[in-house]
Amino acid sequence: MTDHLKGSKLSRLMAGRERPTHRFSVEVVRESGPESLALAVRTLSAHEQEQAHAEAIKWLVGTGGWQREDLIGDAGDAVLNLEVMVQILARALVDPDRTDAPFAADAAELRRCFDVDEVRACFDEYTAHALERSPFRHMKTLAEVREVADALGKGLTPLTSLPRFDITTLRLIITSLVERAPRWTTPNSSPTTPPTDSPADSSPTSTATTPRAMTLDDSETP
């Protein structure tokens, strides 16, 4: 901690703070067969999150053989996202019986011992735990999203309430608003009366008829 922050109110409030943990189990497949592995995750600080992202890029470029520009695109995004998950879990996974101790030695050990699905399963638990602890509102059902979108569309809820929602919920709300837009913008009645025919157009017009094909009955009798 820098000198000018020593003894700050924030440092006093956070001193000795133990981050909340979430216990869960995930099924892993080993040579002896599937088994349930007990785990726990803790929330990370902003600094730890930044470190995880930086280390993910550093490992992929320095050891994984990727170029920075190759990480932009579908294939690069997928690889980078997976490595970010590994780096975050290396910091967030803790021993469920001793939550002040890390579960894995480092990201390399996680990468070596867990397969992709096991990494994703653990990261889903971490994400769910982080959402529960987040100060942002998170909608758990589509019914809740539709209710908020409907209230926004009718002006019953102010737009200033949107920053209180997390990014995933905001995307769902926007999608729901777009789906409802045609219904809200369709006028109940036409604001103007359709123009009447001009006098020149009001005169009767002759109707062209299609000549009927002549039959034997139509032929003149000599």
> Is residue 159 located within the same domain as residue 97?
no
**77 shares its domain with 36:** yes
Q: Which domain holds residue 53?
A: 19-133
Q: 61 in a domain, yes or no?
A: yes
**Residue labelled with tokens 């039959």:** 215
Answer yes or no: is 199 within a domain: no
pLDDT at 105: 95
The domain that holds 89 is classified in CATH as 3.30.2220
116 and 55 co-located in one domain = yes
What mean pLDDT comes out for the span 195-221? 46
| 92 or 144, higher pLDDT | 92
Is 94 found in the same domain as 62?
A: yes
- Classify residue 8: in a domain, yes or no: no
Stretch among 39-43, 56-60, 163-167 having the lowest mean pLDDT: 163-167
Residues 6 or more apart in contact with residue 142 via CB below 8 angstroms? 172
Q: Are residues 97 and 150 in the same domain?
A: no
Distance CA 79, CA 110 (A): 15
Determine contact, residues 43/124, Cβ cutoff 8 Å: no
Q: How confident is the model at residue 156, as a pLDDT?
A: 79
CB 186 within 8 A of CB 158: no
Residue 196 is assigned to a structural domain of this protein: no
Domain assignment present for 6: no
Instruction: Confirm whether 211 is domain-assigned.
Output: no
Residues 120 and 93 in one domain: yes
Q: Is residue 194 part of a domain?
A: no
Bigger pLDDT: 6 or 157? 157
115 and 96, same domain (yes or no): yes
Residues 26 and 128 in one domain: yes
116: left (phi over 0), alpha (psi -120 to 50) or beta: alpha
Same domain flag for 45 and 127: yes
The number of domains in the chain is 2
Q: Are residues 28 and 63 in the same domain?
A: yes
41: nearest Cα among 15, 23, 56? 23
Closest alpha carbon to 96 in 58, 118, 125, 135: 125
155: left (phi over 0), alpha (psi -120 to 50) or beta: left
Q: Is 122 exposed, middle or buried (0-12, 13-18, 19+ CB in 10 A)?
A: buried
Same domain, 81 and 176: no
The β-bridge relationship of strands 21-30 and 98-102 is unpaired
* Mean pLDDT score across all residues of the chain: 78
Query: Taking residues 165-191, what's their average pLDDT?
Result: 69
**Residue 123 pLDDT grade (very low, low, confident, very high; cuts 50, 70, 90):** very high
Which pLDDT tens digit goes with each residue over 38-57? 999 999 999 999 999 999 99
Question: How far does CA 98 lie from the centroid of its chain?
Answer: 33
CA distance 90 to 47: 14
pLDDT of residue 4: 52
> Are 156 and 57 part of one and the same domain?
no
pLDDT at residue 203 in the model: 47
- Whether 207 is in a domain gets the answer no
